[in-house]
Amino acid sequence: MNKINVRQTGVIIVMCIFANKILLMPSLMYEQTSADSIFVLITLFLLDLAMLPIFIWLKNSYPDKKFYDILKDKLGVVITKIIYLALLCFFFFKCLLVFSITYVYFKQQIYHNEFIFMALIAFLPVINHAVLCGVRTFARTIQLFFGIVIAGFIICLIISLFTPIAAPYFFVSNASQFFSSLYNHVFSFGDFIILFLIMDRIEIKKGQAKHLYFYSLFAMFLVVTLFYLFYAKYQITAFMHNNALADLLVFSVQFNAIGRLDIIAMLTIMFITLFQMEIFNYAFCDCFVNIFPLLNKNYSVVVFDVLFCILYYVFIGRYETMVTSTLFWLPYLAIVINYILPLVMVLILIIRRRGEKKNKSNL
Amino acid sequence: MKRKIKVIFKMPMMIILIIILLFFTPFAIYSPGENRNRGVVTALGIDRLGSEYEISLLTFIPTANQSYQEKSSVISGKGASVAEAVYNAQIAMGRAVGLAHAKTTVVNEDLLNEDVTSTIDYLSRVASLPENTVFICTNKSAKEMLESSHDLVNNLGLKLEQIVGYNASNLYVTDTSLEAFYKGYYSPTKSSLIGYLTIEDDANKSEENSEISQAQNTSEGQSEGTQGSSNSSSGSSGAQGKHIVNQGEAVLLKEGKKVAHLDVDQLNGINLLNPKSVNQIVTIDDVEKNGQTLSMQYKIKTKKTLITTKFENNVPIFVAHLILGVELVEINGTHENLKVNTEFSEVSKEIADKIEAKIKEQFTASLKVLRECDTDVIGLARTFFFNNRKEFMKFVEELGGKEEVDKFIDYVVFKLNTVIQPD
């Protein structure tokens, strides 16, 4: 009953792929690898995309089983809880990063003198409500606004074409810069992990898996286009512009006279951020409930809110600290979650297949 | 009804909505209007007065009126640093400074004697000065420029950024925004170009005019052509008797410091390779036509450029094929009996050679300035890097590494092949 179809899964993937990549990341990457950041981005996307067939294989092998139960059966309770604790931290920090980047953006654009709790009060109740209503509810909400979000995104890209752009220089970074950039930005990827957590809620009928590839490739294409246009427009000063999607609209002399075109970017970013936070909050709560089975979702939501406020305001609220953390120590966590966990799942699936073959031959 | 209300209040989202409304509504009601706390700055001027900075703000204060006329005024503040000067300007204005709508930023020429980014840095990074602001320089104080522009708006409805609008699209190789300045500043050659407007006293102007009229009287009917165009507003009331003059000039900057002042001819020379830059007037003298010696003026109406680059024996060669569509616009000389015939629309070989010689002369003169200052605002290094990366990198290494890339322009051999044809 409370299941989502493949299209709703697709829109969730699109929102996750946009997460942390459309505002700050292009300029952060440019500092390290100039326009070659596009190759870093494509490489990370390809690594991410490799997770999708693993997920589909797992889903086909265990159609109605929870991810937690699969891990518990194969790896035992303790290891499963450790993995879920890592996942909980992973999604919590992702949510925190999404919020802090968007908060700084809106503070620059509109709310110069507003304080953080005003933003938290506006965001937290909505995302908490979405989590309590369940994955189907927020997936349908995202589906409802999906067209508007994508239209806003594409308009931002198109408007940038009316300003002078020149092809950026490629192949200016060395291998060391390339790989260190891969490492530093890996935390902002791993967008398909959410699918593993909600795999028991997803309904994929025969032949529908291709839709997931379509949505993923579509979102990746939009992000790569954004990077390309951003670098083509700003080139050497790309490192100065921290809000890529919005800056494509704002910083053009031609459109200076028209007025506040940036409202398109603001609305798009607002919706995307809200949906991303809902998804990550849901993932956090799901992990929390599985780690502490005696506590229900209401507790998990409260824990999330308290932790969020404390960590944001007391420690990570300093924007630079948050961004530096995602570049230097959070990538360790991301490598475990993004690459080691799917590999473990592949091993589980291979062992299962061998077991099935053995059983068949014994019969 | 009671049941319906109960059902509505049972929805958790409704309770959340009410909580949010309860929280935000008092804030919204009791918060004063944004214009009471924040002054909207439409133009910004920066001056250096000895060891102090003076920040002038052309502010627009939104008030209700029936004439739809903006009430704006120039407010300034001084301080040992830009931040302090802005702070003092805020105190003078009684409002916080909002620079998001600052469409023009003017700096005094003296500020360009040192790296201007140290002055601008605070404004663009901290004070949210948008990078698409038109960034220009003036000969006198920026404050006077803003005061004069205030009069321009009141008398003609002409805004400061509109005055340089034509220059930006036709004369400068890039637009004259802060973003374009930064692009040049952070480029390997560290060179940029910004617009230049002068302020003249009405008293001086009237003296000059009287001199000109005297000269005209003594030259017995010979027409005196003014050099360059001057888009000026003398404003009847006048901001302390001063007015803005736009002669299409620009300032060449290297590492944020002024290295040369370019007039409109030099800018036209630089723009020879810029296909977007058209409408320049080329004057050729001593043209023999029907037994008469004429001075003819042609307008470049269309321009097509094909640029190729190569290295021959480790020498960078820049080859530009230019197809210029020209139109005869004026003939000067003793031509009382001359009729304007279609024959003049044809471009004879003699005229084509003369036009070619003239534009090449202009280009050479401009190139000389760029070479003397080691500034590459025409993007030579970029073009070679794009087209011949391997040879270019080798050449730059031989020059002394990336730090010396700005000297690359000195070694480039230019070959211009021009085709002059009637438009």
Q: How does pLDDT run across A234-254, given as a tens digit for each residue?
A: 888 898 888 899 888 865 544
* B68 band by pLDDT with thresholds 50, 70 and 90: low
Identify the residue among A117, A137, A173, A237 best suited for mutation to test binding to B, counting B beta carbons within 10 A and taking the highest. A237
Which range of A206-210, A283-287, B108-112 scores highest in mean pLDDT? It is A283-287
Same domain, B388 and B311: yes
Using the Cβ of A169 and the Cβ atoms of chain B, whether some distance falls under 8 Å is answered with yes
* A230 band by pLDDT with thresholds 50, 70 and 90: very high
Same domain, B129 and B269: no
pLDDT given at position A129: 87
CA nearest B355: which of B347, B343, B366?
B347
Using the Cβ of A108 and the Cβ atoms of chain B, whether some distance falls under 8 Å is answered with yes
Which range of B145-154, B250-259, B269-278 scores highest in mean pLDDT? It is B250-259
Domain annotation covers residue B205: yes
A1 by Cβ neighbours in 10 Å (0-12 / 13-18 / 19+) ranks as: exposed
Nearest-by-CA chain A residue for B13: A129
Which range of A90-104, B25-39, B118-132, B150-164 scores highest in mean pLDDT? It is A90-104
Same domain, B57 and B142: yes
* A359 band by pLDDT with thresholds 50, 70 and 90: confident
Instruction: Tell me: pLDDT of B164 over 80.
Output: no
CB hemisphere CA count around B103 (13 angstroms): 18
* B218 band by pLDDT with thresholds 50, 70 and 90: very low
Same domain, B128 and B87: yes
A66 by Cβ neighbours in 10 Å (0-12 / 13-18 / 19+) ranks as: middle
Least confident of A230-239, B86-95, B216-225: B216-225
Work out the number of other CB atoms within 10 angstroms of the CB of residue B315: 12
pLDDT given at position B66: 63
Using the Cβ of B156 and the Cβ atoms of chain A, whether some distance falls under 8 Å is answered with no
Give A-chain residues touching B20 at CB under 8 angstroms.
121-122, 125
Using the Cβ of A47 and the Cβ atoms of chain B, whether some distance falls under 8 Å is answered with no
Out of A122, A132, A253, closest to residue B175 by CB: A253
Domain annotation covers residue B18: no
* B238 band by pLDDT with thresholds 50, 70 and 90: very low
Instruction: Tell me: pLDDT of B229 over 70.
Output: no
DSSP B114: S
Domain annotation covers residue B15: no
Same domain, B216 and B176: yes
Separation between Cα atoms, residue B276 and residue B171, nearest integer Å: 9
pLDDT given at position B100: 80
* A1 band by pLDDT with thresholds 50, 70 and 90: low
Percent of chain B with pLDDT over 90: 23
Separation between Cα atoms, residue A40 and residue A180, nearest integer Å: 10
Pinpoint the alpha helices (H) of chain A. 6-18, 25-33, 37-49, 51-61, 67-75, 77-109, 116-133, 135-160, 175-184, 193-197, 209-234, 244-250, 253-256, 262-291, 297-310, 319-328, 330-335, 341-362
Q: Which residue has the higher pLDDT, A314 or A351?
A: A351
CB pair distance less than 8 Å for A251 and B131: yes
Query: What phi and psi values does residue A15 have, to the nearest 5 degrees?
Result: -65, -40
Which SS3 state, helix, strand or coil, does residue B392 take? Answer: helix
> Across residues A15-21, what is the average pLDDT?
93
Using the Cβ of A363 and the Cβ atoms of chain B, whether some distance falls under 8 Å is answered with no
Chain A nearest-CA distance from B165, in A, is 10
CB pair distance less than 8 Å for B20 and A250: no
Give A-chain residues touching B177 at CB under 8 angstroms.
253
Among B197, B226, B254, residue at a domain's last position: B254
B231 is in which domain, residue-wise? Answer: 34-254
Q: What is the CATH number of the domain that holds B316?
A: 3.30.300.210
pLDDT given at position A118: 74
Out of B16, B128, B182, closest to residue A129 by CB: B16
Using the Cβ of B20 and the Cβ atoms of chain A, whether some distance falls under 8 Å is answered with yes
Domain annotation covers residue B41: yes
CB pair distance less than 8 Å for B16 and A253: no
Domain annotation covers residue B415: yes
Separation between Cα atoms, residue A128 and residue A305, nearest integer Å: 8
Chain B nearest-CA distance from A168, in A, is 9
Q: A with B: how many residue pairs have Cβ under 8 Å apart? A: 47
B18's enclosing H/E stretch is: helix B12-30
Separation between Cα atoms, residue A297 and residue A284, nearest integer Å: 10
Nearest-by-CA chain B residue for A122: B20
- Residue ranges of domains in chain A: 6-362
> Across residues B164-176, what is the average pLDDT?
68
Separation between Cα atoms, residue A261 and residue A243, nearest integer Å: 15
The ipTM of this complex is: 0.81
Q: What is the token pair recorded at A357? A: 């073959």
Chain B, residues 132-151, CB within 8 A of chain A, namely 132, 134
Please write the tens of the pLDDT for every residue from A317-339: 677 787 888 888 899 999 999 99
Domain annotation covers residue B346: yes
Using the Cβ of A129 and the Cβ atoms of chain B, whether some distance falls under 8 Å is answered with yes
Among B203, B221, B254, residue at a domain's last position: B254
> Across residues B369-394, what is the average pLDDT?
90
Rg (CA), chain B: 28
Chain B nearest-CA distance from A259, in A, is 9
Out of A129, A169, A237, closest to residue B179 by CB: A237
CB pair distance less than 8 Å for B182 and A252: no
Chain A nearest-CA distance from B289, in A, is 44
A279: left (phi over 0), alpha (psi -120 to 50) or beta: alpha
Domain annotation covers residue B3: no
CA nearest B289: which of B241, B347, B225, B217?
B347
The residues, ordered by sequence, that sit 6+ positions from A8 with a Cβ below 8 Å of its Cβ are A136, A139, A140, A142, A143
Q: What is the token pair recorded at A202? A: 């997803």
> Across residues B315-321, what is the average pLDDT?
93
Instruction: Tell me: pLDDT of B258 over 50.
Output: yes
CB pair distance less than 8 Å for B131 and A253: no
> Across residues A14-20, what is the average pLDDT?
93
Give B-chain residues touching A114 at CB under 8 angstroms.
none
Q: Could you give the angle at the alpha carbon of B109 between the alpha carbons of B106 and B111, nearest 5°?
A: 85
Same domain, B171 and B296: no
Using the Cβ of B165 and the Cβ atoms of chain A, whether some distance falls under 8 Å is answered with no
Nearest-by-CA chain A residue for B189: A236
Domain annotation covers residue B107: yes
Please write the tens of the pLDDT for every residue from A91-120: 999 998 999 888 888 887 776 666 677 778
Least confident of A116-125, A172-181, A182-191: A116-125
CB pair distance less than 8 Å for A237 and B182: yes
pLDDT given at position B317: 95
Least confident of A88-102, B153-167, B172-186: B153-167
Separation between Cα atoms, residue A16 and residue A279, nearest integer Å: 8
CB pair distance less than 8 Å for B103 and A252: no
> Across residues B219-228, what is the average pLDDT?
37
Give B-chain residues touching A132 at CB under 8 angstroms.
12
Same domain, B269 and B199: no
CB hemisphere CA count around B262 (13 angstroms): 34
Q: Which residue has the higher pLDDT, A125 or A17?
A: A17
Residue indicated by tokens 């369940």? A134
Same domain, B160 and B183: yes
HEC string of A215-226 equals HHHHHHHHHHHH
Give A-chain residues touching B183 at CB under 8 angstroms.
234-237
Could you tell me which CATH class the domain A6-362 is placed in?
Answer: mainly alpha
User: How many structural domains compose chain B?
Assistant: 2
Among B206, B233, B254, residue at a domain's last position: B254
CB pair distance less than 8 Å for A122 and B20: yes
pLDDT given at position B223: 34
Using the Cβ of B183 and the Cβ atoms of chain A, whether some distance falls under 8 Å is answered with yes
B257 DSSP β-pair partners: B254
Chain A nearest-CA distance from B351, in A, is 35
Give A-chain residues touching B187 at CB under 8 angstroms.
236
Using the Cβ of A236 and the Cβ atoms of chain B, whether some distance falls under 8 Å is answered with yes
Using the Cβ of A78 and the Cβ atoms of chain B, whether some distance falls under 8 Å is answered with no
pLDDT given at position A251: 56
Same domain, B38 and B187: yes
Separation between Cα atoms, residue B45 and residue A31, nearest integer Å: 31
CB hemisphere CA count around B86 (13 angstroms): 21
Give B-chain residues touching A231 at CB under 8 angstroms.
none
Give B-chain residues touching A240 at CB under 8 angstroms.
131, 182
Tell me the average pLDDT of chain B: 80
Please write the tens of the pLDDT for every residue from A257-278: 445 677 888 999 999 999 999 9
Chain A nearest-CA distance from B139, in A, is 24
Q: What is the token pair recorded at B335? A: 């031509």
Separation between Cα atoms, residue B13 and residue A126, nearest integer Å: 8
CB pair distance less than 8 Å for A125 and B187: no
